[in-house]
Amino acid sequence: MAFEDFRALRARCEYSTIRNAEGDPRYEDGAVVPRGAWQPITEAQARALAARLGTASDVTVEIVRPPEPDRSGFELETLTAGPGDMNARYLGQALAAPGMPTTTVNRNSGRLLGLHLDNWDKLIYERTGRGRRRIALNLGPGARYLVLAQLDAQAACRGVHPADFAARHPHTGDCRAYVAAARLPVHCFRIRIDPGEGYVAPTEYLLHDGSTEGQALPSVIAFWLGRWPTGALPSLV
């Protein structure tokens, strides 16, 4: 994660661990969800999360202030073209009701995915960390969270398929199997995103989802997919 001010990050970031959902009809079988009991992150955790000099933009998470929409007639489709990717793809919007620990629904089954990997680029193992990142803008009216597990697609794939991981395409099922077999707790972090704020994240690489847990209002979020250099948008932390 790219940040400059630990206090600003700690004010909006908490940690917990993850588990496989059991017996919850809202979720797909084996879905990975946060345990809850969120705690403020420590300075040691923040240091471990911090992007180092030379960390590739493709795998970096940023909490940002997206461009201010021109209310005289702007189009969301072109909002992120200026920050560095004229070919960025507008993916649309999603509405989340308040009080949801995770927000993404499998449209085919109607059940929640839990923490998951996106698969827009359909990358093989060795290229999984080179996919496009996603910009998200919270349009409100409520706040929401970005939830990220401290587990990436390559680590999960290696752990579940030690003999032939290099020939595979890492996917959400690998992460679910990894968490089910893990001997030590896997941490996750939730980062508050207020209306008008956003994030840039490698959602093909990191296990993630949105959350409106503890919020009284719904929120709408807009998404784009593209390649933006780290620092293309003003950081909030």
Band (69; pLDDT cuts 50, 70, 90)? low
Note whether residue 235 is domain-resident.
Answer: no
Q: What is the pLDDT of residues 17-58, one digit of tens each?
A: 999 998 899 999 999 999 989 999 999 999 899 999 889 999
Note whether residue 73 is domain-resident.
Answer: no
Note whether residue 79 is domain-resident.
Answer: no
- pLDDT of 12 strictly over 70: yes
Note whether residue 125 is domain-resident.
Answer: yes
Q: What is the pLDDT of residues 189-222, one digit of tens each?
A: 999 999 999 999 999 999 999 999 999 999 999 9
Find how far residue 38's CA is from the centre of its chain. 17
Q: What percentage of the chain reaches a pLDDT higher than 70?
A: 92
Distance between CA atoms of 154 and 174, rounded to whole angstroms? 9
Structural domains of the chain, count: 1
Please give the residue that has the higher pLDDT: either 120 or 79. 120
Q: How long, in residues, is the chain?
A: 237
Note whether residue 171 is domain-resident.
Answer: yes
Note whether residue 234 is domain-resident.
Answer: no
Note whether residue 237 is domain-resident.
Answer: no
Listing DSSP states for 154-176 in one string gives: HHHHHHH-TTTGGGS---HHHHH
Note whether residue 76 is domain-resident.
Answer: no
44: containing domain: 6-51+58-67+86-226
Q: Give me Rg for the CA atoms of the chain.
A: 17
